[in-house]
Amino acid sequence: MAASLRDLLATTVSSMDYEFVGYEMHGQGRGSVLRIYIDNGTGVTADDCSKVSRQVSAMLDVEDPIQGKYTLEVSSPGLDRPLFEIAHYQKVVGSRVKVRLNAPVNDRRNFVGVLLRVEGDNIHLLMETEEEVVLPFSNIEKAKVIADIAG
């Protein structure tokens, strides 16, 4: 069985001593963009992104896991850090997050609140209304930290 795209990307990025944060694939056909997020302990530079881009591009040329044409982008997670795995949520407990769901919970798909805790496969958000909402990780389409740049 062929390795998944995520596994191929994670292996390549990790072998270069960077943290593979995750990836997004947007669009179809000519307009497709494969965006990979990397990190390290000291901050990601444009040079780091360029190095990883060359290595990942070479791997993708050999493995050919993506149909059609696409543009490869390598980026740091930035201040509005995307959250891809349950472990990412555990690292940012106490932060404000924005979450978009695949299927509605309480008739809503979009939530913004403070991440209170992670219990099993559920994340607990405190909404501005002081209501606590429990969201199943398996239902999350996309999520990110909302950067606190006040001060």
Domain 5-75 annotated CATH 3.40.50.300 = no
Contact at 8 Å (CB) between 99 and 143? yes
pLDDT at position 3, please?
Answer: 67
**Over the chain, what HEC string results?**
CCCCHHHHHHHHHHHCCCEEEEEEEECCHHHEEEEEEEECCCCCCHHHHHHHHHHHHHHHHHHCCCCCCEEEEEECCCCCCECCCHHHHHHCCCCEEEEEEEEEECCEEEEEEEEEEEECCEEEEECCCCCEEEEEHHHEEEEEECCCCCC
CATH 2.30.30.180 maps onto the chain at 86-145
Contact at 8 Å (CB) between 9 and 23? yes
CATH 3.30.300.70 maps onto the chain at 5-75
Q: What is the pTM of this model?
A: 0.85
pLDDT at position 92, please?
Answer: 94
pLDDT at position 79, please?
Answer: 87
Residues 91-147 have pLDDT tens digits of 999 999 999 999 999 999 999 999 999 999 999 999 999 999 999 999 999 999 998
Domain 86-145: homologous superfamily in CATH: Ribosome maturation factor RimP, C-terminal domain (2.30.30.180)
pLDDT at position 147, please?
Answer: 86
Band of residue 1 on the pLDDT scale cut at 50, 70, 90: very low
